[in-house]
Amino acid sequence: MALTGPALLAKVKELGDLGKSEIVRSTGYVSTKKDGGERLNFTAFYEALLEAKGLGFGAAAGNGGGKGGRKLSYVATVQGNGNLLIGKAYTSLLNLEVGDEFEIKLGRKQIRLLPAGAEEEGDE
């Protein structure tokens, strides 16, 4: 049976040095294919992991916790005035507050926002 919630988080922390496939397998996100082979269910694993961390994609989380309306698309579009608007639903998901500051890191075709003063993790 696949782990969820705090049990999933604890197991992932315990298995931190293992590879992704082994972590997914060890937490129960595996099924059997018709030919008897093993299929690792990465999508279900990552959805459960996000849910356990309070960032689920369910009905309540899908719209930023509001009263309905559009679902988050996780896509931003440059506006006519050149601004790139992220929006309240996303800042709410991350528990950001007015006045929070970020360093802007530019890469090839990507923008990374890092909390001001935070050390950058390894490049992806």
Question: Distance of CA 29 to CAs 20, 59, 113, Å?
Answer: 11, 22, 32
Share of residues in the chain with pLDDT > 70 (%): 83
Question: 0.75 cut: is pTM over it?
Answer: no
The whole-number pLDDT of residue 69 equals 56
Is the pLDDT assigned to residue 123 strictly greater than 50? Answer: no
The whole-number pLDDT of residue 81 equals 93
Residues 24, 46 contacting (CB under 8 angstroms): no
Alpha helices in the chain (DSSP H): 5-14, 20-26, 42-52, 88-93
Question: Distance of CA 124 to CAs 44, 91, 120, Å?
Answer: 23, 23, 11
Render pLDDT for 53-86 as a digit per residue (tens, 0 to 9): 877 655 444 444 444 556 777 788 888 999 988 8
For the chain, the domains span 5-52
Q: Kindly state the average pLDDT of the residues 94-109.
A: 88
Which amino acid is located at 123 in the chain? D
Is the pLDDT assigned to residue 19 strictly greater than 70? Answer: yes
